[in-house]
């Protein structure tokens, strides 16, 4: 789950992890901030990237453009991540390409939750709220997707409104992808 976390005087873009019964496992704070984000957000810094063993699989991930850093991804691959979470506010069609790459490179499922938002959802919408059509203008088009270790898009993306996507994950696909690829994750158990 992607959230805004307040810790003391700082705001973080944070990804929180929960197990099936809803027990909080931990969190990861976004590291890489764009120049415009630096005025509001604080970098989580990098100590070690968490990975959580659940009753299903090993789960972890990176937030937004932290995903562009191959060394961060490789650290998670080396730890055996099987379900890679990637929440973002990037609703562009091009976001599918790096998410598909991560699924293929890591031999893991990728769950990318993308924000959908209309202008009326902002804290300070425009002054004219009496039927102003711009209130319904889409400012972030969503595009959440679930991608298999083979790069197949199992669910999404939807760019037309709020939605819930789901897919059945065949965990055998992880083993198949890692043994056939001979790539970065072929020796991880």
pLDDT at 48: 66
Region at 95 (left for phi over 0; alpha for psi -120 to 50; beta for the rest): alpha
* pLDDT interval class at 41 (50, 70, 90): low
Query: What pTM does this model have?
Result: 0.82
pLDDT at 189: 47
Q: Does residue 9 contact residue 22 with C-beta atoms inside 8 Å? A: no
* pLDDT interval class at 131 (50, 70, 90): low
Mean pLDDT of 109-129: 76
pLDDT at 184: 55
pLDDT digit string, tens, across residues 68-108: 888 889 999 999 999 999 988 777 778 888 999 999 999 99
Mean pLDDT of 55-64: 87
Percent of the chain with pLDDT over 90: 27
| Of residues 38 and 7, more confidently modeled | 7
Q: Does residue 142 contact residue 91 with C-beta atoms inside 8 Å? A: yes
pLDDT digit string, tens, across residues 140-173: 888 899 999 999 999 988 888 888 999 999 989 9
Percent of the chain with pLDDT over 70: 85
Domains present along the chain, CATH in parentheses:
48-181 (3.60.110.10)
Distance CA 107, CA 180 (A): 10
pLDDT at 79: 93
pLDDT at 185: 54
């Amino acid at each position: 789950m992607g959230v805004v976390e307040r810790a003391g005087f700082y705001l973080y873009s944070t990804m929180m992890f929960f197990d099936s019964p809803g027990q909080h496992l931990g969190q990861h704070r976004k590291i890489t901030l764009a120049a415009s984000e630096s005025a509001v957000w604080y970098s989580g810094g990098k100590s070690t990237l968490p990975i959580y063993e659940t009753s299903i699989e090993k789960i972890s991930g990176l937030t937004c453009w932290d995903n562009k850093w191959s060394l961060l991804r490789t650290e998670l691959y080396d730890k055996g991540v099987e379900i890679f979470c990637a929440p973002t506010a990037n609703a562009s069609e091009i976001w599918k390409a790096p998410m598909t790459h991560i699924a293929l490179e890591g031999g893991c499922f990728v769950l990318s939750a993308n924000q959908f938002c209309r202008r009326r959802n902002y804290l300070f919408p425009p002054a004219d709220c009496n039927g102003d059509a711009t209130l319904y203008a889409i400012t972030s088009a969503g595009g959440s997707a679930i991608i298999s270790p083979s790069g197949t898009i199992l669910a999404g993306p939807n760019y037309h409104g709020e939605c819930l996507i789901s897919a059945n994950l065949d965990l055998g696909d992880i083993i198949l992808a890692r043994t056939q690829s001979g790539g970065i994750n072929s020796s991880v158990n």
